[in-house]
Structure 1
């Protein structure tokens, strides 16, 4: 690459970085950090553990994000020096190093740019993820469990905290359904593009004749409800059942009836929680899930009234097939909306899904612009 071409590309990268910095509003970010640092230093912070957790989590996220932005700006500024050094000394090794760093910066800038596309009403929220086995019998239950592991591994890769609220195990293998929360800012905006029906094609390990099996699992992603959300729930419209929590294969994991199932009679929505040993704690968690589902239902109704639900979601709602995982007769994972694909399904199922998420966010934004 000629030095003139490099100079033009570095100008373009710097301009893109400037746009990102403007959207993220670094001055406001620094101000928010200062306020949160003051709150975190207050002696009475942990008098309210729940609020303390939110303050420290938000502070940690903002500090990490600011460091990431500042570090990338520094790398872009240093690139011109590195290329000038390579040119001045006519050093092939230094030039190779500079070109590798340029490619790395391009990738990091693309990833950061995706973050600026998350501007929806609830995008900054934590995410509540529901996964359920659909058509395909025991293979579907096994696939649902693989998807749960995939998202939990993805969260682990990014250092995000998670909490599994409830898992309903299938009799032979896998799970019927699961609900868990990803506790990170912008987790909802990030994971919301994962909503829809996922399809697995493979030689079934549960078929003694070794036949190919197609199975399906559904993923639903909801924003976690905050105190500022107002969803009125009439206690008289709830049916609350308690039962004994169970583990894989139906084995008991608790000796008391601590698990809680709540049915919202007007809508038929059913939620349950069994991760805590206390019935009171499980009821509180189940109510949080119900609040999130009712909030999402209200959001959809409001958008339907504006005749824009299909436009904003790009047709990607529960039950719409959006990704195929093919393990036989060839190896491939392909997103049916964005056409993004990789040839290593095991890596994807191990949580390497950032490429799919980034492509999904860009696809959603392009649809919103086209429909505007």
Structure 2
């Protein structure tokens, strides 16, 4: 094999071995046996919620084991593949397989970095149009499509809770849930302001327009989160659901708007068929927002104690430029892609991976600052 191929395979072996130590296939196998025993108990479905939790965890654990076994098998086959390819005088297929394997191992490595308390959760995504008028509303809808296309490509179901359509084009806001394990951990790095620069399709003079949309990512609330919301703290308004342009799509007042009086947070849901279902969905989103608010307050307290840094993602976290040149660039990680059309069609894995690595580095830096300050304080005389 070529020296560079040998070096890459050696690096992949090191990375995959580290991943296996973190994921612990033996512990996963033991857990699978436990879950299979529970799933085989006829009384399991007496508690549907618990049964769903057991079957979901079992499926996820089995998928992890299959993924590890597949990558290990592919890596072990690579030397033989190259040997046969070199005998035939064409290593192009082997090179493609090595590139694919390298990408798959790097992606799995990133998931091992998702160790936050809420990272394994499903994700609630809120998108709001910002500055830029009708272009901003159109941009918000483009972002929604980008995330739903990404979810579809990875086999994750998306449930839309609410869409507020703009009058001319696009949307004012949208709330939807991306189902699947570690969706919050992966997508939380998308939170912040997204900036689009292009020739406006809504400008008769063909001028360049800059528009903004805000993306908020929240973890789906679970029963164990203990987010207590007294009934007196929530105002409930019902109204008739509507589609684009105000067209009625429901003849009853089934849409629900919840206002959390102490914080002023407003949540709407009109996707479900009944008022009860819409209220339940809206309450889940409200709980998620209050959970995130609590998390941010706790993080602010830690920062005040000396952890340093800024927990927020900041404004203009990513720029999408369609004119006068073509580029999408993350302003935190400097990761960039020269084909915006692919990104807007859901090809955002590179941005997610670089964002997760950046976040982990930020956390490590903050922890080091905290440690250094603690050591310095310990050395000071009383």
TM-score by length of 2: 0.90
Describe how 1:49-128 pairs up with structure 2 within 5 A. Answer: 49-85=48-84, 90-93=87-90, 95-128=91-124
Alignment map for 1:32-51 (pairs within 5 Å): 32-51=31-50
Displacement of 1:16: 1.3
User: Does the 8 Å CA contact 2:159/2:178 hold for their aligned counterparts?
Assistant: yes
Match of 2:20 in 1: 21
Change (3 A) 1:322 1:174: same
- Segments of structure 2 that go 5 or more residues without pairing to the other structure are 368-382
Instruction: Tell whether the 8 Å contact from 1:311 to 1:367 is kept in structure 2 after alignment.
Output: no
- Using a 3 Å threshold, how does the CA distance of structure 1 residues 310 and 215 change in structure 2: closer, same or farther? farther
Question: What aligned pairs does 1:1-372 form with structure 2 within 5 A after superposition?
Answer: 2=2, 6-85=5-84, 90-93=87-90, 95-307=91-303, 315-317=312-314, 320-372=315-367
- Give the deviation of 1:48 after TM superposition: 4.6
Distance 1:54 1:180, change over 3 A: farther
* Cross-structure match for 2:371: none
The answer to whether the 8 A contact 1:169-1:177 is kept is yes
| Whole-angstrom CA distance in 1 between matches of 2:113 and 2:201 | 41
CA distance in 2, matches of 1:334, 1:6: 30
Contact 1:133 1:140 in 2 (8 A): yes
Judge conservation of contact 2:303–2:309 (CA < 8 Å) in 1: no
Cα deviation, 1:286-329, whole Å, max 9, x if unaligned, reads: 11111111111111111111117996765405xx1111111111
Give the 3 Å change call, closer, same or farther, for CA 211–50 of structure 1 in structure 2: farther
User: How many matched pairs?
Assistant: 366
Distance (Å, rounded) in 2 between the aligned partners of 1:21 and 1:135: 46
Mark the runs of 5 or more structure 1 residues left unpaired by the alignment.
none
Give yes or no for contact 1:314–1:367 (8 Å, CA) kept in 2.
no
Note the C-alpha offset of 1:97.
3.5
Superposition deviation, residue 223 in structure 1: 0.6
